Amino acid sequence: MRIPSGLEQWATQVTLPGSGLDVFCYDAGPRDAPGALLVHGLGDEADTWRRVIAPLSERYRVVAPDLPGYGRSPAPARTRLTPRFLGRVLQELLERLGMRPVTMVGSSLGAALSQVVAASVPGLVSRLVLVDGGLRAMGRPNRGLLLMLIPVVGERRYRRFAGNLDAAFASLIPYYARLGNLPVEERRFLRERVGERVASTTQMRAYFSSLRSFTAWTWARGRRAARRVAALGIPTTYVWGAQDHLIPVDAGRAAHAQHEGSQLIVIPGAGHLPHQEAPQEFLAASGLLPG
């Protein structure tokens, strides 16, 4: 996968001896600065943060990994991408890089995963920024998602996009308030990137492994884990796009209402990925940079 312009200087591969994995990530900013770990969502890569890494690196040591099986990180052999497994990978990555404590910023499923890490290792996470997602915001799956959860049926639907770049690009429409309003270069990048995703068997397997494991886990344990995180008293900000078509802002309001002491900031004119669609507004809403 092509590294977006401007991020080449921060691209690196980190070997994790404990899990036997090589993890691609961007590692930007001063090594002695406060740490910020940016965690992408389902079917995405570290490049989702491409418009905010540089400004954040002026204040933080910013690490944005491709989760195992996504983007440029090889998939682990015969391992399901469960919340517990992915959480351990992120914990080992932080230990390997000597980053503790950190601010965790998670997008969608990455928000839920950030909470899993926070609950698993008290003291590791000093702050949470949950972007259009979280353990209490997964919501009831719609018909399309339910079909994707069914083995074979989901894979068949996914493969329809391979070789049909127009259809693959159109599949991104629900992720943005207005996909067509993004800058031309952004749309070109997204068109290229979604074509690479649907052509990759590795990425498809990672997508379905994560989707099915997380869905089952959050239904069974998500609420209990969310209560455990809330009890830790970690400063938490929910950032939501007002026009999120995937996880509506009402889910963010509900998650915020059940998380005592948290904040909710809604970004007008943004969809499920406000850090891509409205990066300046996202940075202001997150509170990560001085106002």
Q: What is the CATH number of the domain that holds 209?
A: 3.40.50.1820
* 264 falls within a domain: yes
Mean local confidence (pLDDT), 175-182: 95
Range of the domain at 264: 8-286
* Residue 2 located in a structural domain: no
pLDDT tens track for 280-289: 999 999 999 9
Q: What pLDDT was estimated at residue 138?
A: 64
Q: Are 80 and 213 in contact (CB under 8 A)?
A: yes
Residue with tokens 């959050």: 218
Between CA 205 and CA 187 the distance in angstroms is 25
Burial (CB count within 10 angstroms: exposed 0-12, middle 13-18, buried 19+), residue 163: exposed
Q: For residue 269, is it within any domain? A: yes
Cβ atoms < 10 Å from Cβ of 290: 5
Q: Predicted confidence band at 222 (pLDDT cuts at 50, 70, 90)?
A: confident
* Number of domains comprising the chain: 1
**Does a structural domain hold residue 3?**
no
Residue 95 lies in a domain: yes
Q: Is 13 among the domain residues?
A: yes
Length of the chain: 291
Residue 291 lies in a domain: no
Residue 136 domain-assigned (yes or no) = yes
pTM: 0.95
Sheet of strand 263-267: strand arrangement: 11-16, 21-28, 61-65, 35-39, 102-107, 125-131, 236-241, 263-267
Structure tokens that stand for 174 in this block? 């629900």
Q: DSSP E strands: which ranges in 176-276?
A: 236-241, 263-267
